[in-house]
Structures are given as structure tokens and as C-alpha cells.
Amino acid sequence: MTQSQSRPRTPASWHPPAQEREGLWIFTRLRDFIDDIANTSPARLALSAFAGVCLVFTFLLSLPVSSASGTATPIHQALFTAVSAVCVTGLTVVSTAVHWSFFGQLVILVGIFIGGLGTLTLASLLALMVSKRLGVRGKIIAAESMNNAGRLGEVGTLLRIVITTSVVIEGILALTLIPRFLTLGEPFWQSVWHGIFYSISAFNNAGFTPHSDGIVPYETDLWILIPLMVGVFLGSLGFPVVMVLQQNGLNWKKWNLHTKLTIQVSFILLAAGAFLWALMEWDNARTIGPMGFGDKITHSLFASVMTRSGGFNLVDQNHMESTTKLLTDALMFAGGGSASTAGGIKVTTIAVMFLAIIAEARGDADVKVYGRTIPQGTMRVAISVIVAGATLVSVSAFLLLQISGASLDRVLFETISAFATVGLSTGLSAEVAPEGVYVLTALMFAGRVGTVTLAAALALRQRSQLYHYPEERPIIG
């Protein structure tokens, strides 16, 4: 008997039950909808994916089971915390350790892990899971987000590498931290939970802590501080850089231009930030003034790493000097590497604009570095990202000033921290009225998906023109 004969034939008049037909119809429509968006507007898919995830986690955090008291959390607090977690920011309006139950903290941690994958990665994974494929334009966006646009056929493999890399690094950090919490007298399962929480929060540059007083009690404990700094710094480099380092090690000649610029500028900002932070706070009796030389150096280095998106803090931000707050504002706005868990306008954006200024000062027609010429389109995208970021911060600061009535330095600090998804705070987020909470929530969301999506959309938006108007140069400067 053949295979076709052994299988019962389905009558032509047979149809699936109504519920099954409805389920199949809904899934098919959803698949077609996501597939169309992925092929026509990947940036819109990235925006929709992140917004959907934020709403899901808002619902979960608003449930009574998520709070330690067993009561429902107000919607503005649940929304703010969900967006802060998914956008890997770390700003809070309620204490993570006190207000949320274990379930609530677990929801926050899952949100951090998902959000740390990035908008374009998350959108690509959503399209792959539902429609089982990515169109050419979707593959270009996904590959562009990982600086690998020349290997469109390997996008699925690259997405798996991103997830695997995150899990491996976070696992190593957790295995490093768990023994330390055990030696400090914490119970075994609590030590495991704290080790996992801190490892995911650090690598994803989130800044959430499961302790009510944060990491301040460990301000001199290098066994905890060093893994946190390493995790935050690796996460701030970005997945494209991590993959290049995995493939080529420390062989500078085999690194691509993106990797070279990201690592070089990151170390420059790290060293400059640590030096200037130490210089300004060295004698401040409210921060590191009374400490010994070694602890001052540790605090300065830790602050420099965390201000560019990590969000962990060892000193009260309100006790810092005004000049230190301004330095922190600048470092937060700069952020980390592209396609990373860090926020800000990204270090490659800063590098491109700095190189363009040097080329203009020299009178060079091209912007060149390390034997490569940077395209004019890349510089236009860099300008767009900077202007968009400055505009978002300015508008949000204006609104927050009107709502809160707080001083400009506190408002500016909070808005830049929200836009750059850093998480350092002067306490304004917890003090402001619900209207201000919504402003900061929108700013965190825009800061995480706005500039990245804008950059990706502009990078692919090329229109062919059949004519050019005559050139005329306006006076600049």
C-alpha cells in the first residue's frame, strides 16, 4: 500500500471548525500584516514592536501580583517602569526592591533582556517568528543595524549570534557575582537571583538594582564593581563590535572602520571622563572627598563608565558639584556604540562629526580616516541624529520645567538621562507629578527607538534625481 493510499482522504466539503478557521485567519492576517510592514517600512515595524512590548509589560506590572503589597500599581507608574525596563534606562518612580514582588522584578528583568536586544533586532525577530522570512528591505535593515549589510543571507545567523552573545556574557558575569554575594552572607537562592539580576542589568546598561539602597554598600568592593564595569562597557560597545572581536581578536588590521572608531572613542571618553570627574570631585566632602586615594580612583573610573549609559551610581547625584553635573550631562548625551545596549547619540556619531570638522579646517574635500573615506550621506545622518536628540531634550526639558517647577540643572540632568537611557537621577522622576512622568516616559521611548530608527531609515532612503538646481553657498558661521 502506498503512502497516499494509507492516508485517509479529506472530503472536499470538509472545513475546519469555526474557532479553528478564525484562529488560522487571524494568524494569517497578522503574518501578512507584519510581513508587509517589514518589507515596506522596517523602521515602522521596529517602532510598533517596541511599543507593543512596552504595553505588554505595562499590563503585567499593573497586576496586583506584581507589587509586594498585592495591590494594583497605578498606570503611570507601571507604564514608566515598563518603558524604563524595555528601553534599558533604569529610571524609577518607585523602589525596585521595595515596591515590586519577586514576580514584578522578574517581569522587569525579562523586559531588560528583551529591550537590550535593540529595536531593529527585536523587529527582525518578530518578523521571522510570525512570517518565517524577512524581505530584502527587512534584511538590509537588520544587517545594517549590525554593520553587516554585505551578508544579507546570514541575517538569521547574525540574530542568533546576538542572542547567544548576550546570554554567554551575562552568564559569565552572573557566575562571577554569585560567589561574592554568598560570601557576604546572603542565602544561596538570593545570591543566585542577585547575581543574575545584576549581570543582565549591567550588560544591558539598565541600571536597575534589586537592593533598596542600590550598590552603595559595595562602593569599595572591587569583586562587585569590576564585573559591573566590565559588563556595562562590553554592552556599550555594541553587538557589531563584539562580533568583530570574536572573529578577529585584538588584530587591529582586521577590524573594520566602525569597530576602530567605536573602541577608540569609547576609551577616549572613558579616560577623559574619569580624569575630569576625579578633578572636580576630589575635594568634595559630600562625595569622595573623605576617601583614600585608591577609593577615589575607583569611584572616578566607575562614574565615567556608568555615565555613558550604565546608570549605577555610588554617590548621590545631588551632592556633586555643578561642573560635575554638566560633565555628566555631556557624557550621558554622548552615549555608547551603535547597535548596543547603550543610549545617547552614539560615539561613532561624535567621531564622524569631529572628523568632518577637522577635514573642513584643513580644507579637505573628503572626510578620511584610517585609509577610508566617510560618505557624505553618513555625515548627513550624523547631523540628523544630533539635531533630533538635542530637539527632544530641549522640548522635554521645557515641558518638565513647566510641570515640576524644579531648577534647570535638575531638569536638564533628568531629561538627558531619560533620552540617553542612562538611569542616573537626581530624584526628580519620583517627585514629579504624573504629567511629568508621562513626559519622561515618552522621552525614554523616543530616545531608545527614535534616533536609531531615524538613522536606519535615512540610511536607506535614497531618491534618484534627474536634475540638480544650480549651487549657491550661504554664509555659515
pLDDT digits (tens, 9 = 90+) for 133-192: 555 555 555 555 554 444 544 456 667 777 888 899 999 999 999 999 999 999 999 999
Reported in sequence order, the residue ranges of 194-308 that DSSP labels E, i.e. its strands, are none
- The whole-number pLDDT of residue 428 equals 94
Q: Which of 24-28, 116-120, 273-277 has the highest mean pLDDT?
A: 273-277
- pLDDT band at residue 245 under the 50/70/90 scheme: confident
- The whole-number pLDDT of residue 12 equals 45
Number of C-alpha atoms within 13 angstroms, CB side, residue 436?
21
Q: Among 115-119, 163-167, 285-289, 297-301, which is the least confidently predicted range?
A: 115-119
Looking at per-residue confidence, does 412 or 469 come out higher? Answer: 412
Residue 31 has pLDDT above 60, yes or no: no
C-alpha cell, 401 = 520645567
- The whole-number pLDDT of residue 343 equals 86
Looking at per-residue confidence, does 34 or 178 come out higher? Answer: 178
Could you tell me where the DSSP H helices lie in 376-419?
A: 376-404, 408-419
Residue 33 has pLDDT above 80, yes or no: no
Q: Which residue has the cell 580616516?
A: 369
- The whole-number pLDDT of residue 120 equals 57
- pLDDT band at residue 239 under the 50/70/90 scheme: confident
Tens digit of pLDDT for each residue in 318-374?
Answer: 999 999 999 999 999 999 988 788 889 999 999 999 999 999 899 888 899 999 999
| Cα–Cα distance measured from residue 223 to residue 228, given in angstroms and rounded to the nearest whole number | 9
Coil, strand or helix at 380? helix
Looking at per-residue confidence, does 124 or 212 come out higher? Answer: 212
- The whole-number pLDDT of residue 45 equals 66
The average pLDDT across 455-474 equals: 66
Which percentage of the chain shows pLDDT scores above 90?
Answer: 59
Helix (H), strand (E) at residue 326: helix 322-334
Q: Among 212-226, 296-310, 323-337, 371-385, which is the least confidently predicted range?
A: 371-385
The average pLDDT across 436-464 equals: 74
Which residue type, as a one-letter code, is found at position 133?
A: R
Tens digit of pLDDT for each residue in 405-426?
Answer: 899 999 999 999 999 999 999 9
Residue 27 has pLDDT above 60, yes or no: no
Task: Tally Cβ neighbours within 10 Å of residue 347.
Answer: 28
Residue 470 has pLDDT above 90, yes or no: no
Residues sharing a CB contact under 8 Å with residue 420, sequence separation 6 or more, in sequence order? 309, 332, 333, 335, 343, 344, 447
C-alpha cell, 399 = 515641558
Of 319, 243, 317, which Cα lies nearest the Cα of 331? 317
What are residue 368's phi and psi, to 5 degrees?
-125, 145
Relative to beta strand 367-369, strand 372-374 is antiparallel
The average pLDDT across 102-130 equals: 77
- The whole-number pLDDT of residue 3 equals 44
| Cα–Cα distance measured from residue 282 to residue 83, given in angstroms and rounded to the nearest whole number | 36
| Cα–Cα distance measured from residue 111 to residue 37, given in angstroms and rounded to the nearest whole number | 24
Which percentage of the chain shows pLDDT scores above 70?
Answer: 78
Residue 450 has pLDDT above 80, yes or no: no
Q: Which of 35-39, 127-131, 434-438 has the highest mean pLDDT?
A: 434-438
The average pLDDT across 8-18 equals: 48
What are residue 67's phi and psi, to 5 degrees?
-100, 150
| Cα–Cα distance measured from residue 107 to residue 256, given in angstroms and rounded to the nearest whole number | 37
- pLDDT band at residue 1 under the 50/70/90 scheme: very low
Torsion angle in degrees (nearest 10) through CA of 252, 346, 288, 314:
-100
Looking at per-residue confidence, does 62 or 455 come out higher? Answer: 62
Of 272, 399, 401, 259, which Cα lies nearest the Cα of 330? 272
Residue 440 has pLDDT above 60, yes or no: yes
Question: Between vectors from CA 258 to CA 458 and to CA 264, what angle results, nearest 5°?
Answer: 130
What are residue 77's phi and psi, to 5 degrees?
-75, -40
- The whole-number pLDDT of residue 4 equals 43
Residue 460 has pLDDT above 70, yes or no: no
Q: Among 91-100, 277-286, 319-328, 454-463, which is the least confidently predicted range?
A: 454-463
| Cα–Cα distance measured from residue 46 to residue 49, given in angstroms and rounded to the nearest whole number | 5
